[in-house]
Copies of this chain bind each other. A is one copy, B any other.
Amino acid sequence: MLSLDYANCLSDRVGNHGLDPAELDPAGDAAASIAVLTRKLARTRGTGWERWRELAQGPMRREHVEGVLSAVDRCRGKFENLVVLGIGGSALGNIALQSALNPYTYNLDATVRNGSPRLFVVDNVDPAYFGSVLRFCEQNGGLKKTLFNVVSKSGETAETAAQFMVIRDLLKKHIGADYKANIVAVTDPKAGTMRKICDAEGFTTLPVPEGVGGRFSVLSPVGLFSAAMCGIDINALLDGAASMDGPCSREDLSRNPAAMIAFLLCELGSSKGKTNHVMMPYANGLYLLADWFRQLWAESLGKQVDLSGETVYAGFTPIKALGTTDQHSQVQLYREGPNDKVFCLLEVETFDGAGGDVKIPTGLGVDAIAYLEGKSMTALLNAEKRATEYAFVESQRPNFTIKWPRIDAFHVGQFVYLWEVVTSYAGLMLNIDAYNQPAVETGKVATFGLMGRAGYEKHKFAVERALSPTARVIRD
């Protein structure tokens, strides 16, 4: 079980920059308010955009796991490369699961992959990046042995659509009529542009379930298919998520980790000006999980208008950092710069994956570093974590720790579900809609205009007018 230690968010540890412990009094306002919000979440659970709460249990889970595993079965042994085409919520979860649960050298080393394909999650339209992955696949296994997993609910996201058009054309040229066996689409089960394409061309499809937004979709086929293809135990992942449901449904603030994190972050944000939220894992494998968190936190809570129509410019800025690495890059600022942050440290008790721990050998015999001899690398890593936690407390910088017994699918599932519930609590606390993303529209239609899509000419003119050339340029 993941555990949460939040002592360093309170004023007895970090002075006036922390919360008064009295705020957490079981008989106080916060506790009463959490109980109300918990009952509210229980009522809306599984409805509207809160269907993500049902992904890890019951009929949705059974249907998804069955569909994913049978698609994986049909693909088994046939592909050397798996390329996910998606962006945002259609990519960040896939990347996070892979980097947390497979070794760093997975793509480099066939013995590490043990029969699973290499994985590329190509979440951009940078031609150098996209082109290099395609060339690599052509020359290593070939396109015939490359499976493309297109992930797009609508099929109209420009980046994914462009990538899809490129690979469909390539596959048809290289493979001919059989090319559809090289595409598995995760898309809307009923409607939309990608649905129509899939039906017309006969691709295998898996559903983006109704009522599950992109940033809440990692535990649906969106994240599960590529994970299962790469040997990740998706049932353990879902078991972990399901096991977090009880704790995150408790009305008692002091025993509900999701409610506690949401309360601490919102309260430190509103009453103490800590609007930057740094997630800092002490484990390379968890670093890209912080990117998944960044989307969840930024896109859900960053809202100009609240539910009563007031302009509030709500939200917090999520920042990812890596321990110990960023001790040598960011910690100087984190301790001495503006006190505008809360730090979520992730600590792993045991590294018992493939290679186990690394022992620092004896025998060098140099005084200044002799204290390291015979110690384990995990001990050093976690001593540095504790030392940093101490240094933050010394500088009155609020922080909390989520401790992982180990990094495995079960605990990744717990972590994902925990933060999704944290986000739903925070949305209620901020009184905003955590499930929309209205600000993305402007850039989308401006892109249509600039790319010459019929009917969007006025958006092109608006861009050109707003960004007309000026003399505010230094060019030589």
Residue A316 at the chain B interface, CB threshold 8 Å: yes
Residue A165 at the chain B interface, CB threshold 8 Å: yes
List the B side residues contacting A188 at CB < 8 Å.
Answer: none
A166-B361 contact in complex given A158-B372, A299-B332, C-beta closer than 8 Å: yes
**Contact status B440-A332, CB under 8 Å:** yes
Residue A475 at the chain B interface, CB threshold 8 Å: yes
* Between-chain CB contacts (< 8 Å), 30 pairs: A4-B474, A6-B472, A7-B467, A7-B470, A7-B472, A10-B472, A87-B324, A88-B325, A88-B327, A89-B328, A105-B132, A124-B324, A126-B377, A128-B283, A132-B354, A159-B324, A161-B372, A165-B372, A168-B364, A193-B366, A294-B330, A295-B329, A313-B338, A315-B333, A332-B437, A336-B439, A375-B452, A379-B451, A387-B443, A391-B443
Among candidates B8, B304, B371, residue contacting A448 with C-beta atoms closer than 8 Å: B371
Q: How far is the CA of A394 from the CA of B446 in the complex (A)?
A: 11
List the B side residues contacting A361 at CB < 8 Å.
Answer: 165-166, 169
With A103-B132, A375-B451 given, can you name 15 additional A-B contacts, CB distance below 8 Å? A3-B473, A6-B473, A88-B327, A109-B140, A127-B381, A193-B368, A254-B474, A275-B338, A295-B328, A299-B333, A303-B332, A315-B333, A315-B338, A317-B337, A386-B467
Residue A308 at the chain B interface, CB threshold 8 Å: no
Residue A349 at the chain B interface, CB threshold 8 Å: no
Residue A11 at the chain B interface, CB threshold 8 Å: no
Which are the 7 A-B pairs with shortest beta-carbon distances?
A: A88-B328, A302-B333, A315-B337, A387-B446, A371-B453, A302-B337, A131-B355
A299-B476 contact in complex given A391-B442, A466-B390, C-beta closer than 8 Å: no
Residue A75 at the chain B interface, CB threshold 8 Å: no
Residue A22 at the chain B interface, CB threshold 8 Å: no
**Contact status A127-B193, CB under 8 Å:** no
**Contact status A128-B3, CB under 8 Å:** no
**Contact status B139-A111, CB under 8 Å:** yes
Residue A340 at the chain B interface, CB threshold 8 Å: yes
Complex interface residues of chain A between 146 and 187 (CB less than 8 A to chain B): 155-159, 161-162, 165-166, 168-169
